[in-house]
Amino acid sequence: MLHPAARGLGRRAGTLVLASALVVTGGLVGCSSTPKEDRGSAEKLYADAKDDLRAGSYDAAIKGFEKVEGRAAGTLLAQQALLDMAYAQWKSGERVQAIATLDRFIKLHPSSPAFDYGLYLKGLVNFNDNMGFLSSISRQNVSERDQQASRDSYQAFSQLVEQFPESKYAPDARQRMDYIVNSLAEYEVHVARYYYRRSAFLAAANRAQLAVKEYQGAPAIEEALFILVASYDKLGLTALRDDAERVMKKNYPNSRHYKDGIRLPEQAWWQFW
């Protein structure tokens, strides 16, 4: 069970409406030494690229935003074009390119009025990568996949809420951080469970201990403690087993694991055939 504040985020991640975020600030084309005719041309290019973005013509939009960035270099319009380009790359499935574009924005424009949105978008791109459609098709739990994208997403959201606690993106970022923590904890338990069922009890204990240490409060910690107790018992480490069991009983006196044991992995779709 996920943290209450984070329920449903996985379902919403791919459909989050970002239209309002794309217009980061008023007067984007104010201060610039760019000649008037060039600014006008850049504004027209930007408007055309935004039309392509709204229409879902992401390749055309990306090319348009690239032109705007070059034509309006040094202006807020160029910064906005860079962010819009990253968004278009993300929507077109080019996650790596989107992250590279956002990293460039973050490096070049640390004082941008849209810096908080840049961090938020980077978090979303990595967050949504972990919510890919293949996991739902295969019934594979998010926690069973590689978690680097989750860690990168958490880092971006964490930087956002630390530097811009009053940002309009901060509340959603905090909820997604809770979801990610739960996912990472469940991932460690998934690995610990894998090792335990293959009688690699020391490896199972190490991964369960990591989950307990790094993700206190996450729902998966209940099973992590149970695996820790069971692994120490199999290894004959009675003192460590008793210590872990005291913690287990204190925090989860009515745990279902006392009755059910270490749960089996959920059946995947291909196992029905």
17: Cβ–Cβ under 8 A, 6 or more apart, which residues?
Answer: none
- What does 57-120 look like in DSSP terms, one character per residue? -HHHHHHHHHHHHHHTTTSHHHHHHHHHHHHHHHHTT-HHHHHHHHHHHHHH-TT-TTHHHHHH
Q: How far is Cα 31 from Cα 248, in angstroms, rounded to an integer? A: 61
Q: How far is Cα 55 from Cα 248, in angstroms, rounded to an integer? A: 54
pTM: 0.73
What is the mean predicted confidence (pLDDT) over 21-34?
42
Which is more confident, 132 or 165? 165
Q: How far is Cα 82 from Cα 66, in angstroms, rounded to an integer? A: 7
The predicted pLDDT at position 130 comes to 57
Average predicted confidence (pLDDT) for the chain:
81
The predicted pLDDT at position 135 comes to 43
Indicate if the pLDDT at residue 258 is higher than 90.
no
Which is more confident, 69 or 258? 69
Task: Write out pLDDT tens, residues 90-134.
Answer: 999 999 999 999 999 999 999 999 999 999 999 999 997 654 433
**Percentage, residues of the chain above pLDDT 70:** 74
The predicted pLDDT at position 52 comes to 96
97-111, 143-157, 188-202, 230-244: which range is least confident on average? 143-157
Which is more confident, 238 or 271? 238
Kindly tell me the burial class for residue 102, based on how many C-beta atoms sit within 10 Å of its own C-beta (0-12, 13-18, 19 or more): buried
Task: Write out pLDDT tens, residues 64-91.
Answer: 999 999 999 989 999 999 999 999 999 9
**Percentage, residues of the chain above pLDDT 90:** 66
pLDDT band at 143 (very low <50, low <70, confident <90, very high): very low
Q: Which of 202, 200, 190, 188 is nearest to 262 (CA)?
A: 190
pLDDT band at 40 (very low <50, low <70, confident <90, very high): low
Q: How far is Cα 148 from Cα 216, in angstroms, rounded to an integer? A: 20
φ/ψ of 90, rounded to 5, equals -60, -45
